[in-house]
Amino acid sequence: MSPAIDPAEVAFTAIRAQGPGGQNVNKVSCAVHARFDVNASSLPQAVKERLLALRDSRITADGVVILKAQASRSLEQNKEDALRRLQALVDLAADVPLVRRPTRPTRASQRRRLDAKSRSGSVKALRGKVSE
């Protein structure tokens, strides 16, 4: 189970959105920069380490995750979108992959592999020049 992010730990800054939108986009600050300091957060230490180890351009060298949300014309919806994307990033870091236990191939699978190799070898041998 992945830990939930406390919205109080995320600093939101309202900025002007980019792209088309006419006069309104130049006047209204409805896009959001969400800044989340991983080191100062209440996440478990193991999740913090895995989050900082991610090779992601949104994580700065200081350990701050910066997300920009501008999909909606509403400031509140953009905040919710940024929180949702931040939670998805934390979920990705919290998921510990299972360690693969190495197994040996069965005797039947080895036999099938060798039979297929000999079959393909005989097909390739037939591609040679025909001698009379």
User: What mean pLDDT comes out for the span 44-57?
Assistant: 91
Q: Rounded distance, CA 127 to CA 64, Å?
A: 62
* Domain segments of the chain as ranges: 7-94
Q: Say whether pLDDT at 128 is over 90.
A: no
**pLDDT tens-digit readout, 71-107:** 888 999 999 999 999 999 999 999 988 999 999 999 9
Closest by Cα among 71, 93, 70, 55 to 15? 70
Residue 127 region by backbone torsions, left for phi larger than 0, else alpha for psi between -120 and 50, else beta: alpha
Place of tokens 């393909």: 120
Prediction pTM value: 0.71
Q: What is the CATH number of domain 7-94?
A: 3.30.160.20
| Separation CA 74–CA 53 (nearest Å) | 33
**β-pair partners for 13:** 33
